[in-house]
Structure 1
């Protein structure tokens, strides 16, 4: 009976008539609920009809037998409803062959495990015979994965550099190459590639008008983003006519398009209209949700609009709820962004010292909140108080260091957090603190399987400037480990040679041949240009020269613009055409124009003038008497009686 039902089912099924297949399966399962074949075909029919939730329920109700047979369909259903972790777990346990690898790569991409997805696409591309008919799809997906790796900040794992001629023949590959270029920050080149992808799509004969319109939407939305970033306002406004938000089926694309349209139209003049426009589109969910870097940008726009309409209390509650669900400390961008806007809500639109007064108590209660910590540090730096910023940061890092939690230790030595601290140290010239901080971080990360190479390289380079032999030995160990990870790393080889040359030259003598010669390094250096350009001064000399240039000398002040004096400050009967007396600041008797009146006045002036002409007509006795008289107690009064009280 079951065999006859399945036979009639298969005879009546067609490629396009999935509803009929579904009805036949229902009729077969009405007689036997445990018919695995009917359940399996029903699952496929539901998947063809995009009814993924129902397909998932059929598989789960069918038990282990159906899950084993329909493992690939089960994983695909989980993927389409957004249960990505469970889908990956199912694919790991299954042996579905090449199809399962494709699905695993797609699920990994959607779960933002881009390195895993890139590795899977690389494996699929190795089999040249099997991927002959998949070459275009693999190229499209690998370009998209590299773009996401670049957006996530993992550029060291990006495989593609620039698109080939074959890549530019397909609008999908060209569009993904444009996305990678935009992620690298090369916006003009990205705009060129987007226009090429748009032209290829518009002239494609393989697409129906409906398919062409659907493919052009994401290209146009991405182009709008680039035009806004480049400041091409008029071109962005002209492009708005090609975008109809209501006709975009995917909620994620619709949300991004709505945000870009609002920014292009510059509705910020009325914050309430801006707030309403940004929140007019529902948030995407399940498999259509935004990637992290997209969600963070839109979250920032939404909270910025909250601040503009003064929804401080609501923003504090929403961000506090999100922070309560996240671990603390966290190095995730989304979590720290919530912390920043939580602090902004407490500041209530204030800045500087007033904002710090309200935010510092929050940091005392949440010393491990990295987003809040960096907000306080930024406010101190903006106020020019670098010392307080360093103090606050060291206090929070000390609380993390005292913890026994591995997550706290990872946050304590996070490369991004340490780079902020080192930048503050550099502003104050604290070279010893920089060296000790990098040395401690290198000691910590060397014990980890995936140590950040950039941090280890910076730490080893800093230790090369130390006079301590133990620091040089530590630098040599770090450079040696970096060289083992990447034998082609010239910086690691040079650093190892520099660290060991003064300790044990015989250990590095064999490595000298692997370094480029001085003539090769200076082959393209034009000495005459360097001589004409001069030698760039050090930072301290440049600062001193700048400070000296800021000071105005008296000659500069006389030659420069004169300061305008108010009329009430002018002397009486002041005449601008008359040149002022240059001796007006001297006492009256010291001026060259001074002429004493009377005989006694002239005599006193002559006696008072030092270095003046001596009157030769006076004899020596007169001069002596004059000198004696000038002392205040002459001998002529010796014999006089003193007057006393009677």
Structure 2
């Protein structure tokens, strides 16, 4: 039998081998055997078990083991292990306290700074995390194993910032063929957050290919490959979903669900996104998916902004399921966490409107929210929508004017094309056309002065640009609104000037060319003909009969129009379809149909009575004239008493003598009931 030292040495060698092969379940078993042999005073197997539990993502078990067995042991430093467990279990307060102590005891330590950046990333403090990661990239050697991990985390932080604050300026990297799939995936996420969906789709397809090749080249199990590919596939499906390609997105989501992966965060995101595609079609199925998305298993892995979006969708689902109280409770809880998120106030007012079906209370709530957030466009637009639903355009105009008064210092916000379009429309609805024209001139002047260079961009150049910002399309949009309004108001010369500027900026804009022709047709027909050649040719419809159209009289049905007798077309007479007779299931055409099939069974010739009913059937119903019955030889009572039967030779012409009516006392024999009711005499016997 091997000695204790030999057993320990063998177990340590096996532990080193299983750890290098990532066989963590076997490593955990070996750690338990070492602890049993060495005792709990040996810190090496305990430390190995803590690391193995972390690798198995059993963070609570690792924290419990460190708290029970290694709390008072000063011979081993477990600061990093505790920090990482706190980070993965979202215990931010304990993590920050431990981080402060670690920064004092390990100043300028790369591992501590790396963990600090991860903690900031987990709390959605992406900009601070980016600053630390960028400084680490400058300190770490490119050949170091941690360099690629820092780069991956830096791109992940940039992607998170781009999703959280789309207006932030975030720059990614261009992945190469030799880049890891994590770098490609995070670069695609940045492109997706910035609205470059085509580029994001290309990078995600590349990341999927790189992941498949790399993991299979490392002989990784297929289950682990599927786990990694599911993350990329879910992001690709989301890219399709935001582009409106919901069928392709739904197919990918269903494939991810069918693969039955164990990543709770991916399952939660997939369930949430599938629910948003279904909308209100199947609320009970949506409730099942929401239960999966809000489960405790996914809570520790989801980012804060992901939890916020899922919670908002949960509130919307509760509203559509008429759980208005639960909806308001959910929103009030979110408002405490995110008081500056305008969408929450809109949902809260929407729940009130959905519950009462009246806009007054909801408008009152929105106006109270607007006092807390006077520059919130979402709250103002929701108020305007409810006021327009209540047929109050004047109130809607006042709401929009109040908003513009609050943001008058920000010219860019006040002159946004969507805001100007709504303002002009409200002025038209309230009969203030001159004021609408004044607003359009003012807005177009602002965009010309501040973004003049953006007007002279052709559509061909715009297609090659990596992205199109709202500012680049603001001037053409405002100019189109201004020109269309001038054309509608009869100011054809002014409209022609604006349309001409639009056509020069983009000669392929057929809408601007058509407007220019309409304007020149009123003031300069020669120029209208000149620009008319730039319009695309009209495609002729070969199926259209022009001669037949000339015979059509407006307001008269086609059948009443007089036909030309010379036309060779003869309309076939319409034959009326005969409905097939309804036949029974057991119908046989070879058998003769029973003519008595519609008669009740008792009236058919084949009817045979059963039991006591036979006598009743032979007598027939009361009053029926039966052959040989009544006053005949059937044994029935004769009302006239006994009567002499006439001779067969007697004449049939003689009228029979009417028999006198018989009284009840004339009955010869007492009835059976009468005998029954008769009392016996006491003390005597029957004389017979």
TM range (shorter): 0.5 to 0.7
Structure 2 gaps of 5+ residues are: 19-26, 425-444, 459-475, 493-517, 523-552, 557-688
Partner of 1:239: 252
Q: Please state if 1:51 is matched with 2:58.
A: yes
| Cα displacement string for residues 311-352 of structure 1 (whole angstroms, at most 9, x for unaligned residues) | 2232123323444x448xx32x3xx4333222211112677x
Partner residue in 2 for 1:547 = 489
Change (3 A) 1:177 1:36: same
User: In the TM superposition, what is the alpha-carbon distance from 1:78 to its structure 2 partner?
Assistant: 1.4
Quick check: 1:43–1:58 contact (8 Å CA) kept in 2?
yes
In structure 2, how many angstroms separate the alpha carbons of the residues matched to 1:544 and 1:78?
64
Equivalent position to 1:252, from 248, 257, 265: 265
- The within-5 A match list for 1:478-557 is 543-548=485-490
Task: Say whether the 8 Å CA contact 1:390–1:425 is kept in structure 2.
Answer: no
Note if 1:134 corresponds to 2:141. no
Alignment of 1:286-325 (within 5 A): 288-323=300-335, 325=336
For 1:149 and 1:282, the matched residues in 2 are separated by 23
Question: Aligned match of 1:213 in 194, 206, 226?
Answer: 226
CA contact 1:251–1:282 (8 Å) conserved in 2: no
CA distance in 1, matches of 2:355, 2:80: 53
* Match in the other structure for 1:72: 80
2:382 counterpart of 1:378: yes
The gaps in structure 1 that reach 5 residues or longer are 398-411, 430-460, 466-490, 495-517, 527-533, 557-563, 568-646
For the 8 Å contact 1:319–1:338, the answer to whether it is kept is yes
Q: Which has the larger radius of gyration?
A: 2
RMSD (Å), alpha carbons? 4.9
2:101 aligns with 93
1:108 positional shift: 2.0
Deviation at 1:298, TM superposition (A): 2.5
Matches within 5 A, 1:274-423: 274-284=286-296, 288-323=300-335, 325-326=336-337, 330-331=339-340, 333=341, 336-348=342-354, 354-360=358-364, 364=368, 367-368=371-372, 374-375=378-379, 377-380=381-384, 383=388, 384=393, 385-389=395-399
Larger % of helix: which?
Answer: 1
Instruction: Find the residue that maps to 1:290 and give its secondary structure.
Output: coil
The alpha-carbon distance between structure 1 residues 130 and 58, as it changes in their structure 2 partners (threshold 3 A), is farther
Partner of residue 113, structure 1: 125
TM-aligned CA distance change 1:173 to 1:55, over 3 Å:
same
Deviation at 1:218, TM superposition (A): 0.8
Decide whether the 8 Å contact of 1:296 with 1:337 is kept in 2: no
- Match of residue 148 from structure 1: 160
What is the rounded CA distance, in whole Å, between the counterparts of 2:410 and 2:261 in structure 1? 40
Number of matched pairs: 430
How many angstroms apart in 2 are the aligned matches of 1:66 and 1:286? Answer: 35
Answer yes or no: is the 8 Å Cα contact 2:174–2:187 preserved in 1: yes
Q: Does the C-alpha gap of structure 1 residues 418 and 360 become closer, same or farther in structure 2, counting only changes over 3 Å?
A: farther
Q: Answer yes or no: is the 8 Å Cα contact 1:363–1:369 preserved in 2.
A: no
TM-score using structure 2 length: 0.52
Q: Alpha carbons of 1:145 and 1:318: their partners in 2 closer, same or farther (altered >3 Å)?
A: closer
Residue 363 of structure 1 and its aligned partner are, at CA, apart by 5.1
- Alignment pair present for 1:273 and 2:285: yes
